[in-house]
């Protein structure tokens, strides 16, 4: 089946293209290259040993989408395209809402015009806001604490409204926890612009010597070692979750919602040690004040995806770090 | 001051243009005529005895907005444009989100480009969802029960995010209760397409003989006469509230939020009787089952607008009905 993958050359998008090809699908990567590299195309093809169709375009461009849907017999869409930096979303909310919300609406309108009504949407655990407890189940209350998170929640809400109006849609909302790692080939991975917003790319740059030390925000949380705990999931596991979700969509109807996480929390210091182990490098750190808005621990109840999709994360923290390091240290 | 009024030929927009002119402002009506008549332009001019600039255009058209901001030295925007039928929003959610949310984002982007950062946004009491109690204060919890309401809540949220990012903005969120009535000239009023969604236009059509009877949804609510109570506000009072809000914006900063209502609830049967009185016509009705989602009583605590804007609704139910009837019965 031909699958339109918006943001298909991005971090999660590119790994998903690899797994789609492996599973016998034909992904069509659509990407505006705003936060991805054209070179990823050739790398995905090298990993897969197969061509990947790439179309440069922006999801806010309905005519560009019409051209794609007219030229290709698309069976489903996996929608990754969107801006994703929390801090940036606070300082540039209109840009985030325009890219993420308006972009999604233009995409859903184009899908409607071309009668393509199967969609996997790239949501985020951020839609749980400050969860009342952990592990987090899919039926927990939803809220947003910043424009990035709000953009994800708004799109989820719109899709729930959409399916009430038109039950022909088949929609999966996938709520990612903390995607990390890279393809084991070392050819594709996360390539943050500027200072990394996420822990593992930052640790990797410290290990590499590009940054002096890691600031650990808060050492007095009620966790075993006092640092915050998160549910890190290997990007390849996440990508495989999308392929499993596509199979599920083909058999079902309505909206399904799954947490994609490991179901385990790892502390910042555990990740530091695992990365030191994997890289053989030192990762100096300093404990500094907590960041406002951060919570002590956040991890998924991932049992619904396991029971309904037959999927669970299989790559452990050692492999996440080893793959991240291989990607980081191989010449680009 | 030149004021861009989106949806300026619509029901509330046209009455606001009249009051803006009366207060010495120069409104520029921008309207796509999707739910308004071009003839309203001439009628507003007749009431005001002054010309009104009208530009036909859609708020989703950024280039059209650029042209308006370039051609006119706009000091502030009053943003009414949007779709507003709850039932329709349930069956056509993407259309509602596209018009209301995307349209607003395109407008806010254009305002940013032209450094026009004073905005009065037409919100709705629907953002209170099912309120925990009445009267409703502005600090009550917000939620949405349908795509129309969600579109209003999303835009409010976006504007609260916007001002955190750029404190140069001055924003007023006006939450309307139930606007009714018409200009006392009988020249402008509410002109619903098809079957009216709101009580008073429906009553008016029954009084006129265009419909046989009014269905009253629920006669067993815990209210004095068993029928639902709402806070009906005369559209001219509402329009004056916008003019007062503009003055407030000129002196303040940040986001201000006001309920625009009378602070009183009137039952369906009270409105029926008031309309019969005003029109001298019979309004036959039948009590039928409650509508899912309806609440017993909804009315504003309107004290914040009174203390901060020096505004309160002055036209009573008798005048609302008299003006609505004059508008309904004059030849169009």
Compute the Cα dihedral for A232, A237, A239, A241 and give only its sign.
negative
Residue B261 and residue B231 in contact, taking contact as beta carbons nearer than 8 Å: yes
- Chain B CB contacts of A150 under 8 Å are 157-158, 161
**DSSP letters for B102-141:** IHHHHHHHHHHHTT--EEEEEEEGGGB-S-SSSSBPTTS-
Q: Kindly list the distances between the CA atom of residue A271 and the CA atoms of A91, A202, A210, A324, in Å, as whole numbers in the listed order.
A: 29, 11, 18, 12
Please check whether residue A121 is in contact with residue A79, taking contact to mean a CB–CB distance below 8 angstroms.
Answer: yes
Mutant choice from B65, B113, B158, B166 vs A, greatest count of A C-beta within 10 A: B158
* Predicted confidence (pLDDT) per residue in A11-64, tens digit: 999 999 999 999 999 999 999 999 999 999 999 999 999 999 999 999 999 999
A113/B contact by beta carbon, under 8 A = no
* A253 pLDDT above the threshold of 90: no
Whats the size of chain B, residue-wise? 332
Once rounded to an integer, what is the mean pLDDT over residues A197-211?
Answer: 94
Unique residue bearing structure tokens 């990754």: A80
Q: Chain A within 8 Å of B145 (Cβ-Cβ)?
A: no
Residues of B with Cβ-Cβ distance to A101 under 8 angstroms:
101-102, 105, 154
**Structure letter (DSSP) for residue A97:** I
Q: Do A98 and B109 touch (CB under 8 A)?
A: yes
Alpha-helical regions (H) of chain B: 11-22, 39-48, 62-71, 86-91, 93-96, 103-113, 147-165, 199-208, 235-251, 268-279, 303-309, 317-329
A with B: how many residue pairs have Cβ under 8 Å apart? 69
- Mean pLDDT (whole number) for A178-198: 92
Three-class DSSP category at A29: strand
pLDDT band at A193 (very low <50, low <70, confident <90, very high): confident
Half-sphere exposure of B331 (CA within 13 A, CB side): 0
For residues A240 and A246, give the distance between their C-alpha atoms in angstroms, rounded to a whole number. Answer: 10
Indicate which residues of A carry an active-site annotation. 148
- For residues A308 and B97, give the distance between their C-alpha atoms in angstroms, rounded to a whole number: 31
Among A98, A109, A147, whose Cβ lies nearest the Cβ of B94?
A109
Dump pLDDT digits (tens) for A69-102.
Answer: 999 999 999 999 999 999 999 999 999 999 999 9
CA gap A258, A307 in Å, rounded:
11
Placement of tokens 């629920």 in the chain: B218
Which pLDDT band holds residue A194 (cuts at 50, 70, 90)?
A: confident
Q: Which of A98, A144, A164 faces B90 most closely, judged by CB atoms?
A: A164
Say yes or no to pLDDT of A331 above 90: no
- Which of A8-12, A189-193, A223-227, B171-175 comes out lowest in average pLDDT? A189-193
Asked whether B41 and B63 are in contact (CB, 8 A), the reply is no
| Contact partners, residue A42, CB within 8 Å, separation at least 6 | none
- Write out the two tokens for B194: 């098809």
All residues at 6 or more sequence positions from A159 whose CB lies less than 8 Å from its CB, including other chains: A108, A119, A121, A169, A171, A173, A255
Mean of per-residue pLDDT scores for chain A: 96
Q: In what order do the strands lie in the sheet with A170-176?
A: A53-56, A26-31, A2-6, A74-79, A118-124, A170-176, A254-260
> Least CB-CB distance to B94: which of A108, A146, A154?
A108
Query: Could you say which DSSP state residue A127 is in?
Result: G
What's the average model confidence in pLDDT over A222-235? 97
Q: Does the structure show a pLDDT above 70 at A332? A: no
Tell me the C-alpha to C-alpha distance, in Å, between residue B63 and each of A66, A106, B110.
22, 18, 9
**Distance in Å, alpha carbon of A186 to nearest chain B alpha carbon:** 38
Instruction: Determine the pLDDT at residue A293.
Output: 82
Question: What residues in chain B have per-residue pLDDT under 70?
Answer: 332
Q: What token pair was written down for B8?
A: 């300026």
> How many angstroms separate the CA atoms of A262 and A268, rounded?
16
Q: Quick one: which H or E segment has residue B281?
A: none
A203-207 contacts: CB < 8 A, separation 24 or more? Answer: A203/A271, A203/A272, A203/A275, A203/A283, A204/A275, A204/A279, A204/A324, A204/A325, A204/A328, A205/A328, A206/A283, A206/A284, A206/A285, A207/A275, A207/A276, A207/A279, A207/A281, A207/A282, A207/A283, A207/A325, A207/A328
**Whether the predicted pLDDT of A233 surpasses 80:** yes
Alpha carbon A301 to its chain's center: 17
- What's the Cα-to-Cα distance from A241 to each of A248, A260, A312, B154, B311, rounded to whole Å? 10, 7, 8, 30, 57
Q: Tell me the chain B residues in contact with residue A141 when contact means C-beta distances shorter than 8 Å.
A: none
Q: Which of B96, B97, B128, B148 is the catalytic position?
A: B148
Q: Is B148 an annotated catalytic residue?
A: yes
Q: Where are the beta strands (DSSP E) in A206-253?
A: 214-217, 229-230, 232-234
Q: Who has greater pLDDT, B195 or A216?
A: A216
- Sign of the dihedral defined by the CA atoms of residues A258, A262, A267, A271, in that order: negative
**CB contact, 8 Å: A225 with chain B?**
no
Q: Does B176 touch chain A (CB under 8 A)?
A: no
Look at strands A229-230 and A266-267 and give their pairing: antiparallel
């Amino acid at each position: 089946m031909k699958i339109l993958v918006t943001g298909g050359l991005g971090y999660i998008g590119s790994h998903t293209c690899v797994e789609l090809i492996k599973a016998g699908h034909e992904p069509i990567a659509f990407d505006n290259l705003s936060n991805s590299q054209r070179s990823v195309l050739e790398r995905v093809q090298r990993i897969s040993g197969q061509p990947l169709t790439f179309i440069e375009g922006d999801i806010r461009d309905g005519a560009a989408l019409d051209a794609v849907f007219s030229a290709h017999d698309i069976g489903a869409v996996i929608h990754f395209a969107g801006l994703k930096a929390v801090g940036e979303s606070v300082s540039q909310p209109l840009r985030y809402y325009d890219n993420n919300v308006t972009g999604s609406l233009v995409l859903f309108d184009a899908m409607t015009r071309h009668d393509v009504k199967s969609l996997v949407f790239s949501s985020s655990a951020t839609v749980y806001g400050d969860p009342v407890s952990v592990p987090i189940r899919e039926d927990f209350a939803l809220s947003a604490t910043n424009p990035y998170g709000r953009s994800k929640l708004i799109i989820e809400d719109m899709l729930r409204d959409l399916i009430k109006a038109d039950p022909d849609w088949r929609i999966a909302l996938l709520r990612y926890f903390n995607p990390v790692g890279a393809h084991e080939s070392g050819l594709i991975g996360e390539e943050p612009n500027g200072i990394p917003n996420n822990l593992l790319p930052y640790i990797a740059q410290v290990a590499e010597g590009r940054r002096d030390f890691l600031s650990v925000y808060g050492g007095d949380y009620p966790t075993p070692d006092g640092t915050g705990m998160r549910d890190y999931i290997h990007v390849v596991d996440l990508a495989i979750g999308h392929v499993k979700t596509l199979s599920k969509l083909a058999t079902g109807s309505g909206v399904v919602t799954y947490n994609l996480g490991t179901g385990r929390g790892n502390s910042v210091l555990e990740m530091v040690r695992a990365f030191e182990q994997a890289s053989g490098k030192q990762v100096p750190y300093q404990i500094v004040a907590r960041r406002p808005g951060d919570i002590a621990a956040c991890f998924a109840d991932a049992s619904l995806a396991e029971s309904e999709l037959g999927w669970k994360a299989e790559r452990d923290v050692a492999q996440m770090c080893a793959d991240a390091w291989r990607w980081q240290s191989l010449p680009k």
